[in-house]
Structure 1
Amino acid sequence: MTDPLAATTPATLAERVKADGVEFLLATFVDMNGKPCAKLVPVQALDELEAGALGFAGFAAGAIGQVPSDPDLIAMPDPSSYTNLDFIRPGLALVHCDPYVDGEPWPYAPRVILKNLLAELDSEGITAMVGAEVEYFLLKKDADGTLVTADARDTSGRPCYDARGVTRMFGHLASISKAMNSLGWDNYANDHEDGAGQFEQNFKYSDALQTADRVVTLRYIISMLAEEADMTATFMPKPFTDRTGNGMHMHISLWKGDQALFPAEDDARGLGLSPLAYSFVSGVLEHAAGLSAFLAPTVNSYKRRGAVTTESGATWSPTTAGYGGNDRSHFIRVPDGNRIELRGGDGSANPYLAIATTLAAGFSGVRADADPGDPGKKGVPQPGAAALPPTLLHAVDALRADPVLIDALGLDGRVAEYYAGVKQDEFFRWHNTVTSWEVDNYLTAV
């Protein structure tokens, strides 16, 4: 997909900065947990940034495959990702960077991992288009530090699409919408989601890398503009026991030039999908357990997935790896023949890794000419659909047993093992923490 601003925006980073009157650039990348890392670069140092003079201590940045003795990560900017942020601070812009080490792209960097995967697809003439739904809560803290809904009147057990809740948050939602449209992202909807204090703001699908960049940028924009209004925006999968959690659903389609590869006029199953699309679905379903380590990558993710009920009466989080038609209870929903919706991701997912591993899984099915079997019926799981991992540790074990996903991350399995180790350590740090639940249940139990 072409950049909607390409016709009017200068092509080089220097020209874009000059045209927008930018004074500072956030040179940004994310670690494997999705944490945005950046340095604030004055435009006077743009030449140094583009020449590879901007170094980061990788171990300090986060989970990105380095130890303290390793050489610097060098942030190399991608001019196509330039984003003017003057609505946050006048004179501020952002550019996504690919970390390099010793002159080579760093194989543990999530953006590099996705670009490597997309290069393989490009060699076959295939483009992956992706849309992402970003859900979040707007919260404040009481005097005692308790998290509460930022809108004190937002107390309904079933507030989804409530016109009054949207109107009370009009200032925030409108500011995000205007920001997206000023950037050419085509915001088309802003709504109150299923939990009190929860919202979703949508932008048009694009190519896989651009969508991943935009998810990272949008999270930053939402967070910063929420802080301006003395609120906290959280993408945490399950911040409240009794409310629906934050998902990050992805809509995926494949193209060859101008030809869409998913739709088919004749589909005996009635979903409008081509044999290639069914094979892609089969690959995603086969690797769903290992994919969970990327789609639902935190301990908290499984509080959302395993929720029995919520105030609204639904969790919107699938527990089995099945597919079906226009039915939101499935891991993969097929709203029409043009795309599939992967509903297993949550708000903590790193978009680069989630997209890369999903595409790798899907293409393993395409290359094997696999078939997913008949879809599940409305409200009924697909027959034989496997249960998804109940905890992060189960997902890590599944990743370690999945050669397709291991290979997709590269470096002869070392990236996958590093990531699995990071997530295993995260699980055991949580597991070794004594919680109030344990005190309440065990303190005088015997």
Structure 2
Amino acid sequence: MTLDAPPAPLTAAARGDLAAQARADGVRFLMAVFVDLTGKPCAKLVPVEAAEELQYEGVGFAGYAVGAIGQEPCDPDLVAVPDLASYTLLPAVREGLALVHCDPHVEGQPWPYAPRVILKSLLEKAQERRLELYAGAEIEYFLVARDADGKLVPADGRDRASRPCYDARGLTRMYDHLTGVSSVMNELGWGNYANDHEDANGQFEQNFAYADALTTADRVITARYLISTLAERRGMTATFMPKPFADQTGSGMHLHLSLWDDGEPLFPGDGAHGLSTVARRFLAGILEHAPAMQAVLAPTVNSYKRTGATSTRSGATWSPRRATYGGNDRTHYVRIPDGNRVELRGGDGATNPYLALAVSLAAGLDGIDRELDPDVPDRPELPPTLLHAVDALGADPVVAAALDAAGPGVCEYFARLKREEFFDWHGTVGSWEHDRYLTAF
């Protein structure tokens, strides 16, 4: 990240007529996309002939059928209203296809359970203080397949090294997939700058330039869709599951965060690690609220198989267990690569980017408002399970308020869903229990 002002996203004004723009681009169908609280992408295909209706009236969904978005079967439709600034051509997926991210509405009002609406509410509150959040996201994932016995394995059968990270041969064997994704990112103007083999067999990472927080969150959702679709085309499954293999490193989604004021970066300074006082207080807020934030940053039962790991085949987990910070040291919860940003390393592949950025912003602003000091000794350990994280969320009014930023009840609903998820898993009986208990007594 440089000190130059980040590039501005394409504006809605530049594409004020969705139908005309789509026709000029040879688009035949528009995919109207939004995500639920779990990050599940939901969409309808809208023919270009109905693009004007999509722009001005939106497109309807049965909200309860969507999933975790706060509706019952009797509730009115969700209406997805497109954000024209997010219009994205996707000919690499299908010729004549474009995508547009949407904000769900109910009866004409933004729906408070919609993650994109939540993030926009937090960003608007920050803008009232002349503050703007910029973010970069590192997307890690596995390319997997099933063997003849149905066992999950790396899609590359020759990817067996005990230390495969950055391996040139493993990278080259996935050249077509990785360069295909990279080319799409660059055609879209995202600025893909690196693609690598990560620490586990079958694990990869693809990076693109930072942008304003909403644009970055949209791009994470789009990138997951692109990666998954292009992998399927080659007979593979791309999974963002935090830890698909017990003996290997899991997948993170690290967020690089910075605050700006009218195009001027606020984080560089002459304090420790090159940070300003504002940056240190922002950082302190994240550390203060880390246990509750983990319910959002590590939102699945499987997430805590990653953060709780004590060893892997490679010898490192790359997953923090305490709310610590430091310089260019990847074992911390927050790493400071340079004075321009802080890197939040608590998130994983299941992270909903809208919610993650919303709670990060709320925590950081709380640190600024309360003039918190990051150098507090004996920071607590991070929650060991999803249930512990949800309990921490319920006890943290700042993070809870972030989820409720667009309307009340969202945090309580989210916490209930996550408790149910934990106990659904806890109620299953698996091979570990058979191996340990079947003949033990």
- Alignment correspondent of 2:21: 16
Correspondence 1:15-34 to 2 at 5 A? 15-34=20-39
Correspondence 1:15-414 to 2 at 5 A? 15-264=20-269, 266-267=270-271, 269=272, 271-373=273-375, 383-410=377-404, 413-414=408-409
Distance in 2 between the 1:372 and 1:79 partners? 40
Distance in 2 between the 1:435 and 1:56 partners? 37
Cα shift at 1:3: 4.3
Kept in 1: contact 2:18–2:52 (CA 8 A)? no
Distance in 2 between the 1:436 and 1:149 partners? 21
Cα shift at 1:228: 0.2
The one-letter amino acid of 1:428's match is F
Distance in 1 between the 2:77 and 2:11 partners? 33
1:118-140 superposed Cα distances (whole Å, 9 cap, x missing partner): 00011111111000000000111
- Unpaired runs of 5+ residues, structure 2, are 1-5
Cα shift at 1:316: 0.2
The SS at the match of 1:93 is strand
The one-letter amino acid of 1:367's match is D
Kept in 2: contact 1:333–1:342 (CA 8 A)? yes
Identity %: 62
The SS at the match of 1:320 is coil
The one-letter amino acid of 1:123's match is E
Distance in 2 between the 1:98 and 1:2 partners? 23
Kept in 2: contact 1:5–1:184 (CA 8 A)? no
- Using a 3 Å threshold, how does the CA distance of structure 1 residues 96 and 156 change in structure 2: closer, same or farther? same
Distance in 2 between the 1:4 and 1:187 partners? 16
1:8-36 superposed Cα distances (whole Å, 9 cap, x missing partner): 97453223312210000110000000000
Distance in 2 between the 1:302 and 1:7 partners? 40
Cα shift at 1:74: 0.2
Distance in 2 between the 1:11 and 1:212 partners? 22
Distance in 2 between the 1:5 and 1:116 partners? 20
Query: Cα RMSD over matched residues?
Result: 1.5
The one-letter amino acid of 1:415's match is V
The one-letter amino acid of 2:342's match is I
- Alignment correspondent of 2:3: none
Question: Residue 418 of structure 1: which of 413, 416, 436 is its match?
Answer: 413
Distance in 1 between the 2:407 and 2:76 partners? 21
Distance in 2 between the 1:66 and 1:52 partners? 21
Distance in 2 between the 1:128 and 1:42 partners? 35
- TM-score, normalized by length of structure 2? 0.96
- TM-score, normalized by length of structure 1? 0.95
Kept in 2: contact 1:131–1:206 (CA 8 A)? yes
1:379-437 superposed Cα distances (whole Å, 9 cap, x missing partner): xxxx4121000000000000011111111122664110000001000000000011111
- Unpaired runs of 5+ residues, structure 1, are 375-382
The SS at the match of 2:100 is strand
Kept in 2: contact 1:73–1:101 (CA 8 A)? yes
